[in-house]
Homo-oligomer: A and B are copies of this chain.
């Protein structure tokens, strides 16, 4: 079998390049079918790989002298062709790599996906698709931040991409909902009202109608369609709520007296299990759907586990040909 080649933006992310290198090494320890191309400052990367005794892994390095900052205006990436991100995207475009993984500037990654790699035919906008553990097992939210303003037709196309993604994840008969402020068809802005109609026409019984914020984790749908504005707000609200709740839990256990502390110790394994379940690092990254090749966005503050999982997710996308499934759906 041919190796799956993943271009990793070695200098993308708050903790780059160290966690990116470590994540890559972890992948190679586990998966023999993956080949990693680290893109970034060649000399530094070589030194770091050597320091980690990683020469045996046969990691390829492609040099890129520039780094695109996390908080820079995304559109400027197009003029910074020597950045690790841009060069990694070029490798994919030129067929030197099968997929791109980056924990860098989201907007810039999106711009590279669209302008370097390119959109799938008949797909109007790309969407970031995030997955969560949910009551039903998992749920998919898209778009979780690529597009601040969307038309109803765009939301409808997100529904179609989400369906294909859910099938790719093993759900043969997924249900799609539209994120809104109430279940009734007339709820929301004009955009939601129109999108509801279009989704019903196109997805038929696979469309369950409007859903509310609580349904992202607790609902009966598998795919939640949202504009990038409200999708991103929902995503980050979930993150903040989980973090605040778990830190409150921790503090309260700490101050609960000796018996409570023993209780905490006895439940340590359970807490760790739940912590792992809800840990974004374990999910590993979000596909940017609608692009001609596999692109995975890892969280900006990814640790090495998150990078490892993002690479794993990307290689699954290549192996199970997610891009082909979406292209086929859109008649491309």
Contacts and interface: CB of A to CB of B under 8 A. Distances in A.
A296 B239 CA distance: 29
Interface string A235-277: 1111111111110110011001001101111110110011001
Which 3 pairs show the lowest CB-CB distances between chains A and B?
A263-B266, A214-B240, A213-B236
A270 B242 contact: no
A189 interface: yes
20 contacts: A148-B181, A181-B228, A181-B233, A188-B229, A212-B233, A213-B232, A213-B233, A213-B236, A214-B239, A217-B241, A217-B244, A245-B245, A245-B246, A245-B274, A248-B277, A256-B269, A263-B263, A263-B265, A263-B266, A263-B267
A29 interface: no
Given A145-B181, A248-B277, A256-B267, A238 B236 contact: no
A312 to B, nearest CB: 24
Contacts of A248: 274, 277-278
B243 A241 contact: no
A237 B234 contact: yes
A63 interface: no
A58 interface: no
A189 B232 CA distance: 13
B240 A217 contact: yes
Given A235-B213, A236-B214, A244 B181 contact: no
A148 B244 CA distance: 28
Given A218-B244, A260-B266, 15 more contacts: A135-B244, A148-B189, A149-B190, A179-B233, A180-B233, A181-B229, A213-B232, A213-B234, A214-B236, A216-B237, A233-B234, A245-B274, A256-B270, A262-B263, A263-B266
Given A248-B274, A262-B266, A214 B243 contact: yes
B214 A237 contact: yes
A94 interface: no
B249 A274 contact: yes
A14 interface: no
Contacts of A270: 249, 252-253, 256, 260, 263
Contacts of A253: 267, 270
Contacts of A145: 181
A71 interface: yes
A21 B57 CA distance: 71
A184 interface: yes
A206 interface: no
A52 interface: no
B236 A252 contact: no
